Amino acid sequence: MNEADFLSLLQKVLPQATPDLKLSSAIYEHVARELRLMNSLKSFEKFCTEGSLPDLEPETVANYEGLLATNFGAKNVTVTPSENGDAVKVEIALPDRKITNRIKVQPPGAEEEEELKATYVPFPVALPADPDLLWVLARREDLGPDEAAMALASIEEEFWQTKVGQKLLRDRVEKTFAEFIARVPAAALADSGLKRHYKTPEPLKTLRRLVPANQSDLNALTA
């Protein structure tokens, strides 16, 4: 059940559970506020893991601090740049908890440069049922083929358990490797040292040697 469905259900059953309209309204508002807070915290944690600030200019830091203040209250948020200039420390003080995390500072283009430094090698993948059909993927050079295969299998299993995967299944999308590799986020692969070069599988090409019909043909070829 998503947030909207849950709040709709709560709004429906609260008046049935208590005749006190003020009480039911207060409970609803409190639950809705807590849900918004939970979502804001999830977004914050995700940004700390995957996002970054482009620089430590006062305006940049102030704009981000203002965004956090909108979600958590200005008096509850403290943003402090690190001494070496590679991150900012964020502290969110809530009535029942204190969240501390850091956000890296990464100029535009730096992520692409880091990715270029990582060495990837071809990682062709085939299914047991059709070994002649290959998906041309890539793995980090320091990640062995067996480790890469285990990581890929784990990512596929987890993908179908996510909200996106479950929605695809409800929409009658076939639970196949082809659908998985075409729809899985690139970040999910990159976190395990994998990369999707092509979404479309390619058939295996078998090179066959040309055998001369007779020795004279062979002599002609080698002359």
Torsion over CA: 78, 84, 85, 87 (sign) = negative
Confidence of residue 53 (pLDDT cuts 50, 70, 90): confident
The span from the CA of 55 to the CA of 43, in Å, is: 20
39 and 49 Cβ atoms separated by less than 8 Å: no
Which own/partner pairs from 16-21 qualify as long-range (CB within 8 Å, at least 24 positions apart)? none
To the nearest whole percent, how much of the chain has pLDDT over 70? 87
Average pLDDT, the chain: 83
133 and 201 Cβ atoms separated by less than 8 Å: yes
Confidence of residue 91 (pLDDT cuts 50, 70, 90): very high
Q: What is the largest CA-CA distance in the chain?
A: 104
Tell me the pTM: 0.45
Confidence of residue 175 (pLDDT cuts 50, 70, 90): very high
